[in-house]
Amino acid sequence: MDEWKPNAPAKQFVPRKNRSWYLAWKYKLMNQRAVRRLCQMGAVLFLLVTVIVNIKLILDTRRAASEEEEESAQDYDEGVQHLETPRRPTSSRKVLDIEVYSSRAKVYVAVDGTTVLEDEAREQGRGIHIIVLNQATGHVMAKRVFDTYSPHEDEAMVLFLNMVARGRILIFSIKDEGSFHLKDSAKSLLKSLGSQVVSSLSWRDMWSFVGKKGGEVYGEKHSKSPALSTWGDPVLLKTEVQLTSVEDAECRWPDTELNRRRRRFCTKVEGYGSVCSCKDPTPIEFNPDPLKDNKVLNVPVAVIAGNRPNYLYRMLRSLLSAQGVNPQMITVFIDGYYEEPMDVVELFGLKGIQHTPISIKNARVSQHYKASLTATFNLHPDAKFAVVLEEDLDISIDFFSFLSQSIYLLEEDDSLYCISAWNDQGYEHTAEDPSLLYRVETMPGLGWVLSKSLYKDELEPKWPTPEKLWDWDMWMRMPEQRKGRECIIPDVSRSYHFGIVGLNMNGYFHEAYFKKHKFNTVPNVQLRNVESLKKDAYEIEIHRLLAEAAVLDHSKNPCEDSFLPDTEGKTYVMYIRMEQEADFTTWTQLAKCLHVWDLDVRGNHKGLWRLFRKKNHVLVVGVPASPYSSKKPSAVTPIYMEPPAKEEVAGQVAAAEQT
């Protein structure tokens, strides 16, 4: 029996084995006290952690549950309470050390040892340099130079200084010469800012000044020029500025999403006027009326920008105020890693993309255009078109309405390759009818629509490479690209070119060619007979016009106003000499005396120009090159105008830049 009880001891064996295993373990560990202690400590620690984790878990779940309970009562209504953003009190008021240097060849400004302005380039940066600092942080908010040696720059300076908020720290320094065209109004403003010497500031004096707008003066230095031919000695002004608290430097706008954007902007940059006004800030959201049946609501808008943030600011304001604008479709492409344009873009809550500059001058612009267009179509894969704008344009209130009515032409008529908002010949005295459209052979740019197929299939693959220093728009106007196609333009432009600083732009040029351009301000203009802009219909339309047009008296001087009878709303035709397709001798002279665009030929359609004079529609036909020459009564001799002497022409051609 004993042998047949293998199970009984086995049953007992289990605990025994356990115990013995435990004992063995214990003995073993006894021999290794350290190991045993460690294990014990580990166990204790582990248990403690478990306990803590448990408690935390319970607390967490309970809190979540109770929160949930509260929430269900409160539901989704938002904006009940304004969260007070806690502000750190700036206990330690800081002092800024400022150094300002003014001399003939160099200016510099250092704040706390950091150079924030240094200009010693030759033949550049003449005039009064101004730096605006934030009175709480000491950050540079604006840097400007006004060449007050030249006329009108002092007015711009006054404008700028008036826009700077009270309390900002202003730093002035003259390089080379800054007094020649500094008029009394500007001087008295500087005086009111606390300058003692500005009223006696004269030819080639050196001057540095630091003061708070509407407050104390921190320092001023001045050195007189001893003689007309020499400059005053360099002056170095060293001064200290007490920083104020952040609260004092900021406005108390209600805490909304928009105002948060505004605050971010206004603590960073200066010189944008009422947008940062504490009392009555100008809106940064416009909510213009939507358009009925807007065909361009989902057309992406690419804004091509450089480093002209004030322009961009003005441009975006007008763009966002245009009826039917869709801010979501706007992307601003900034050529270079400039901060301030990006700040402007963010102020308006738009998308901005920065582009590393490639190449130089015109090629840089051209590469920037290419990158911007490619990116636009990448970001909006179903877009068939893109609107291309530049940062120095005002946009008419009915810009999108104009495009919405005409964009279908681009789809239906393949003899078209753009719709532009700009009429090169549409000046105050030559444009009249906002509902009228033309077909022209020259692409005007300045606010235009490009189709994806044209860009992707034709332009993008052979876009001029960076080493070719070409203007993109000149290139686009070349016959290889244009392929005989035309653009639709309005009689009265839907954009206005206000930029006077730019790659191909200066004040004189702007005054002569852009200032008097007509710009539509009427909302919701119903375009007339858009269908007649299609290829064949347009020819019928032109023939109709020619048939009804009265022939002007070709014996009179076409430059004189009396060339036109004193009528209104009539159609006239005149014939000028144009030997072959590229003969624009007479047209150029005529354009010159009419004060329209004469730097190259714009706005023609098969040797025909259309414009208004004294509120009458005038057709100008080039004979015999134009196919419309056949309409010329045989008795009429086409007008021929002599080009001026050679040198003059050469000068003008050199100035002929694209816009």
Partner 1 sequence: MQRINKNVVLALLTLTSSVFLLFQLYYYKYYLSPKNGAVFSKVKGSQSGQDGIQWHVIKKFLGLVSSHNAPVYLIDPLVLGLIQKDYEQLSSSSDGMSPECKYFCAARDFTTFALLDKTWKHEVSLFRAAEKMGFQWLKIQNKDPRLEGMDDLSGIEIPLHYIFKLAAHAIHLVVFYERNGNYVWHGPLRLKQNIDRKFVPFRKLHFGRFAGAYNKPEVLQLSIDDLKVQIPKNLSQFLEEMSHSRFLECRYREARAFFQLYPDDASLDAVEFRKKAKALLHLAALTLNNLGVRFWLSSGTCLGWYRQCNIIPYSKDMDLGVFIQDYKSDIIPAFQKAGLPLKHKFGKVEDSLELSFQGEDDVKLDIFFFYEDDDHIWNGGTQAKSGKKFKYLFPKFTLCWTEFVELKVHVPCETLQYVEANYGKDWKVPVKVWDWKNSPSNVQYNGMWPVDEWDDVIQVY
Which of 23, 44, 159, 522 lies at the binding interface for partner 1 (CB under 8 A)?
A: 44
User: d(Cα 532, Cα 549) in Å, to the nearest integer?
Assistant: 18
351 forms part of the interface with partner 1 (CB under 8 A):
yes
Q: Which residues in 454-513 contact partner 1 (CB under 8 A)? A: 456-457, 461-462, 465
530 forms part of the interface with partner 1 (CB under 8 A):
no
375 forms part of the interface with partner 1 (CB under 8 A):
yes
Which of 20, 54, 115, 282 lies at the binding interface for partner 1 (CB under 8 A)?
A: 54
Which parts of 75-202 fold into alpha helices (H)? 153-163, 184-192
Give the contacts of 210 (CB within 8 A, at least 6 positions apart): 98, 100, 169, 170, 171, 172, 217, 218, 219, 220, 237, 239, 241
78 forms part of the interface with partner 1 (CB under 8 A):
yes
Give the contacts of 413 (CB within 8 A, at least 6 positions apart): 533, 534, 535
3-state secondary structure labels for all residues of 457-494:
HHHHHHCCCCCCCCCHHHHHHCHHHHCCCEEEEECCEC
Binding window for partner 1 (CB under 8 A); candidates: 38-46, 145-153, 385-393, 644-652: 38-46
Angle at 595 between CA 593 and CA 600, to 5 degrees: 95
* Closer residue to partner 1 (CB): 54 or 637: 54
Burial class (CB in 10 A: 0-12, 13-18, 19+), 597: buried
29 forms part of the interface with partner 1 (CB under 8 A):
no
Could you give the count of Cα atoms lying within 13 Å of 430 in the half-sphere of its Cβ?
Answer: 25
Binding window for partner 1 (CB under 8 A); candidates: 208-216, 375-383, 391-399, 417-425: 375-383
257 forms part of the interface with partner 1 (CB under 8 A):
yes
Other CB atoms within 10 A of residue 603 CB: 25
User: d(Cα 127, Cα 151) in Å, to the nearest integer?
Assistant: 11
377 forms part of the interface with partner 1 (CB under 8 A):
yes
Say which DSSP state 281 is in: P
* Closer residue to partner 1 (CB): 156 or 379: 379
Binding window for partner 1 (CB under 8 A); candidates: 42-50, 90-98, 105-113, 517-525: 42-50
User: d(Cα 478, Cα 282) in Å, to the nearest integer?
Assistant: 44
Q: How many residues bind partner 1 (CB under 8 A)?
A: 47
23 forms part of the interface with partner 1 (CB under 8 A):
no
What letter represents residue 140's amino acid?
A: V
Say which DSSP state 553 is in: -
Other CB atoms within 10 A of residue 53 CB: 10
358 forms part of the interface with partner 1 (CB under 8 A):
yes
Binding window for partner 1 (CB under 8 A); candidates: 133-141, 287-295, 377-385, 604-612: 377-385
Q: Which residues in 56-75 contact partner 1 (CB under 8 A)? A: 57-58, 61, 64-65, 67-68, 70-72, 74-75
Which of 379, 474, 500, 505 lies at the binding interface for partner 1 (CB under 8 A)?
A: 379
295 forms part of the interface with partner 1 (CB under 8 A):
no
Q: Which residues contribute to the site for partner 1 (CB under 8 A)? A: 40, 43-44, 47-48, 50-51, 54-55, 57-58, 61, 64-65, 67-68, 70-72, 74-76, 78, 257, 328, 337, 351-356, 358, 371, 374-375, 377-382, 456-457, 461-462, 465
